[in-house]
Amino acid sequence: MMNKTYEKGIYIHIPFCVHKCIYCDFLSAPAGDAVKYAYTRALINEIRNTADRQVKDKITSIFFGGGTPSVLPDGCIADILSAVRDCFDISDDAEITMECNPGTVNESRLSEYRAAGVNRLSFGLQSADNNELKMLGRIHTFEQFEESFRLARDAGFNNINVDLMSAIPGQTEATLENTFDKVMALQPEHISVYSLILEEGTYLADNIDKFPPVPDEEEDRRMYHITKQILENAGYERYEISNYSRPGFECRHNLLYWNRGEYYGFGCSAAGFTGNERYSDIRDVREYIELNGDIGKLHENIEILTKEDAMEEFMFLGLRKVAGVDVKDFQNRFGVSINDVYAKETERNINKGLLVKRGDMLRLTEYGMDICNTVMSDFILTDGD
């Protein structure tokens, strides 16, 4: 199977936070410094043991996610990046992103991150309304976010993302617009706006009756359109269903995912994709530390992808991008025309006004973006289809 790789990335998962938010289903929990130091040592060993098995790949993006990576003790981020540089060939212009929560960074830590090579921050704000933040279980106020943002600018960060959330219980169009007004006044380079999903097993989902009403599907869709209108009017270009940026500040790491590029996953529960294999690390933090980088025991949920799997992924990941999928790229990767595989699905969705083809690009229409999950599910291959 042809699987041309254009860039490679690294994802590093830090499974610690100050306080578990009521809507969060990511692997994250509070922990003491002893556990964090032990985890950092095990993580570095995983990085070194993985690199021992591989030829040196050119890495163009590194992403610290969590959890809250900025809760690691001083020096840990620098030590991890030092190990990555020892083991991999990092592009001079690599994008190195670190997720932070407002209130977990200070002047010295931000200076440390910059010195270590971090050049992009992603602040998890979610809302500029302090009542909404308190209801969600966030540890910060909007004023604390403003201070963290200012400190980041002072430390030299000129590429900052702000994560926001719509369809929060009790949220109105007015409070959402107020959030945009306050955030855009700070002029971040990138804004991500995700609709709240009630994930099974979270405190919010299990106790939803105790909270203000969640905006219904119609209200959620109106908020989506308001988001697009306000942000585009302010000079932010939507380049993916939920992501907006100033020109030239698209998140390269996320584009790597949507372009089906390869990446290594390091850390508890981290996912990776290399060759035609997808995998994830074990989810138990204590066990992860005890295994101390033993690759043979860390990886689980290993899936060897077929050509059909790869073609499906190419379509439902690529269609998330506003630009859509490149039919020539499909041909180059898989040695077959997209029409030979998806002619029926493509024609059906074009006729419904959900897809449009312009030159070599096949993309969702505005209406298609509204019901993107329905369109993408149409490109899942089934036996006999």
Read off the pLDDT band of 216 (50, 70, 90).
confident
Which pLDDT tens digit goes with each residue over 113-149?
999 999 999 999 999 999 999 888 888 899 999 999 9
pLDDT digits (tens, 9 = 90+) for 59-117: 999 999 988 999 999 999 999 999 999 999 999 999 999 999 998 999 999 999 999 99
> Between 3 and 141, whose confidence is greater?
141
Nearest CA-CA partner of 264 in 299, 304, 310, 222: 299
Integer CA distances (angstroms), 205 to 65, 131, 163, in order: 23, 19, 21
In tens, the pLDDT along 298-347 reads: 999 999 999 999 999 999 999 999 999 999 999 999 999 999 999 999 99
- Residues 91, 119 contacting (CB under 8 angstroms): no
Question: Helix H segments across the chain?
Answer: 33-53, 76-87, 107-116, 130-136, 142-154, 173-184, 203-206, 217-233, 252-258, 285-291, 295-298, 307-318, 327-334, 338-351, 366-370, 372-377
From 121, 95, 93, select the one nearest 109 (Cα to Cα).
121
Greater confidence (318 vs 51) lies with 318
Check residue 20 and give its pLDDT: 61
Fold observed for domain 8-258: TIM Barrel (3.20.20)
What is the three-class DSSP state of 161?
A: strand
CA angle, 254 as apex, 302 and 102 as ends, to 5°? 110
pLDDT at 258: 95
CB 98 within 8 A of CB 69: yes
Per domain, the residue ranges of the chain are 8-258, 324-377
Residues 238-294 have pLDDT tens digits of 999 999 999 999 999 999 999 999 999 999 999 999 989 999 999 999 999 999 999
pLDDT at 26: 58
The vertex-86 CA angle with 80 and 87, nearest 5°, equals 95
Confidence band for 25, pLDDT divided at 50, 70 and 90:
low
pLDDT band at 196 (very low <50, low <70, confident <90, very high): confident
pTM, whole model, 2 decimals? 0.92
Give me the pLDDT at residue 23, please: 63
> What is the distance between the alpha carbons of residues 163 and 144, in angstroms, rounded to a whole number?
15
pLDDT of 5? 43
